[in-house]
């Protein structure tokens, strides 16, 4: 995967097995910048001073459940265009459609196999590389235009136009 090693990933979990599986899977794609934080409150603080390309979050995270953590991150505008993977031992917290509205690629119920996690991370990396969903593409294109990065904005608007035909 192109530029995978330059991706920065935030993993929010206190489960050692989940952390290990995530790190192994991410490392297999050449990603070296992996930050594992054990609770969601500390992760929210970390997001104030650090940017990430992907979030992997445990639904059973300490202090704030993963789904609420992801919604807070998206609504607060900390990382509005960042794809997220939600996983955990508990039942899926909401419908696929509602999860996807907030950038969650998929909910992965544990125990999960390494091949399932690898596939999901590969899909998420692909999404991050292509700049995300239609809404995310529009937000990113608009932002680059407002920052006077016209060439990049033009490419994103062209990509968006092709997707919405």
Looking at per-residue pLDDT, the higher value among 126 and 41 belongs to 41
Q: Judging by beta carbons within 10 Å of its beta carbon (0-12, 13-18, 19+), is residue 63 exposed, middle or buried?
A: middle
Closest by CA position to 35, among listed 59, 61, 54: 54
| 43 neighbors 12 (Cβ within 8 angstroms) | yes
Provide the token pair at 47.
């997001």
Q: What was the pLDDT predicted at 1?
A: 46
At residue 150's C-alpha, the angle toward residues 148 and 156, to 5°, is 125
92 within 8 A of 105, measured Cβ to Cβ? no
Share of the chain above pLDDT 70, in %: 79
Angle at 28 between CA 27 and CA 34, to 5 degrees: 15
Q: What percent of the chain has pLDDT over 90?
A: 24
| pLDDT tens for each residue of 45-104 | 998 888 888 899 999 999 999 999 998 888 877 666 788 889 988 888 888 888 888 888
SS3 35: strand
This prediction's pTM: 0.73
b/e sequence 88-122, b meaning 16+ C-beta within 10 Å: beeebbeeeeebeebbbbbbbebeeeeebbbebbe
User: How large is the average pLDDT for residues 121-147?
Assistant: 66
């Amino acid at each position: 995967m192109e530029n995978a090693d330059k991706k920065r990933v935030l993993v929010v979990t206190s489960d050692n097995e989940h952390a290990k599986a995530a790190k192994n899977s991410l490392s297999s794609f050449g990603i070296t910048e992996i930050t594992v934080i054990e609770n969601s409150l500390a992760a929210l603080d970390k997001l104030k001073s650090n940017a990430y390309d992907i979030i992997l979050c445990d639904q059973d995270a300490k202090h704030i459940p993963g789904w609420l953590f992801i919604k807070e991150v998206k609504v607060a505008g900390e990382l509005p265009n960042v794809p997220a993977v939600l996983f955990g031992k508990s039942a899926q917290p909401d419908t696929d459609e509602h999860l996807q509205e907030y950038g969650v690629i998929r909910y992965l119920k544990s125990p999960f196999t390494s091949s399932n996690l690898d596939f999901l991370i590969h899909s998420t990396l692909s999404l991050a590389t292509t700049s995300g969903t239609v809404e995310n593409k529009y937000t990113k294109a608009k932002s680059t235009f407002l920052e006077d990065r016209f060439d990049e904005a033009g490419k994103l608007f062209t990509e968006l136009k092709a997707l919405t035909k």
